[in-house]
Amino acid sequence: MTHKPTIAVLGTGIMGQPMASNLSAAGFDVCAWNRSDHRYPALRSAGIRIMPTPVEAARECDVVIVMLSNGPVCKEILFGDQGAAYAMPPGALLIVMSSIARHEAEEMAELSQAQGLKWLDAPVSGGEKGATEGNLSIMVGGTAENFEQAASILAPMGRAIHVGPAGTGALAKLVNQLTVATTLAAVAEAMTLAEAGGADPAKVREAMLGGFASSRILEQHGQRMLERNFTPGGPAKYQLKDTRAACQVAQDLGLELPLLALTDQLFADLVANGGGDLDHSAILLEIQRRNHLEED
């Protein structure tokens, strides 16, 4: 692309809206589609054109970015009846930034190639804060040529790393989510143990932030746990989706990952007990429930 590419963003929720806004702020011509319209005023304020359907959004764009809730939804919007991918011009670049399974990424990459499209699976980490600030971690699977072409497009949204062929971006996100989920559970247990033992959990967290146990999760989500602020940045039900997908990949590869299996069960129980729409830091509530420490 010798000209500045036009970009369609399909899915402008918690993550997609600020990502689209950052692209517009970087000077790209951006249009957007979303299932619901409550995000549209903010998008219009950012100079983003609103399209009535995914097909119309994709039809005349050089690049289509997808930030929908899961793999099946992505596949339906892109390759179902009236799929947006069929409306994309030959040679256009399709970047699926949703968290999807590796096999879903590989399948959609093949479907894209059959349509004469270029493909990248480029899931992100960093939550709503990272999306808003434009400093997401972006894990990219696909050809080196496609990655190079997309570099200037991904840059306003965060730091992109090419990790391998199609499907490996999705795999890298699962590796990331495995690490996030198990660390969330560890921080929740640490806060619970500190408080039950008579220490001030806020001061324990403060002390830990100065040592080897320091992490962004302890810093950001540890504070959420202290405040009992579980307004979702990353809902627990989506964390469960990712741990389930990681468990399936581990099983396919013949791996035993006991921490992943236990953490997956913790999130499954949290969701089963009504916490699916809470932030994933609400895993604290499941740890407390198991220890009969629920607040009235």
The two three-digit tokens of residue 98, written as one number? 């949703």
Q: What ranges do the domains of the chain cover?
A: 6-164, 171-290
Q: In angstroms, rounded to a whole number, what is the distance separating the alpha carbons of residues 147 and 161?
A: 9
Residues known to be catalytic:
173
Residue 294 has pLDDT above 90, yes or no: no
Name which residue leads in pLDDT, 3 or 263.
263
Q: What is the pLDDT of residues 109-126, one digit of tens each?
A: 999 999 999 999 999 998
Q: Give pLDDT, residue 127.
A: 86
Number of helical (H) and strand (E) elements in the chain, helices listed first: 14, 9
Q: Note the pLDDT of residue 189.
A: 98
Please report how the helices 102-114 and 71-79 are oriented relative to each other, as an axis angle in degrees rounded to 10: 10
Give the C-alpha separation, 187 to 190, whole Å: 5
pLDDT at 1: 47
The pLDDT > 70 percentage for the chain reads 99
pLDDT of residue 181: 97
Same fold: 6-164 with 171-290: no
Poorest-pLDDT segment among 116-120, 174-178, 218-222: 174-178
Q: What are phi and psi of 227, to 5 degrees?
A: -85, -10
Range in 103-117, 134-148, 282-296 the model is least confident about: 282-296
Least Cα distance to 223 among 189, 177, 191, 182 occurs for 191
> Rounded mean pLDDT of 30-43?
94
Q: What pLDDT score was predicted for residue 295?
A: 67
pLDDT given at position 17: 97
CATH class (in words) of the domain with range 6-164: alpha beta
Tokens of 97: 């930034």
- What pLDDT was estimated at residue 2? 55
Q: Detail the DSSP E strand segments found in the chain.
A: 6-10, 29-33, 49-50, 63-66, 93-96, 118-121, 124-125, 136-141, 158-164
Would the pLDDT of 37 be above 60?
Answer: yes
Give the residue ranges of DSSP H helices in 122-221. 127-133, 144-154, 168-196, 201-208, 216
pTM for the full predicted model: 0.85
Span 61-86, average pLDDT:
96
Give the span between the Cα atoms of 269 and 286, in whole angstroms: 7
Q: Is pLDDT of 3 > 80?
A: no
- pLDDT at position 4: 87
Note the pLDDT of residue 126.
87
Q: Taking the alpha carbons of 72, 75, 79, 81 in that order, is the dihedral positive or negative?
A: positive
The fold of the 171-290 domain, in CATH, is N-(1-d-carboxylethyl)-l-norvaline Dehydrogenase; domain 2 (1.10.1040)
What pLDDT score was predicted for residue 110? 98
Q: How confident is the model at residue 87 (pLDDT cuts 50, 70, 90)?
A: very high
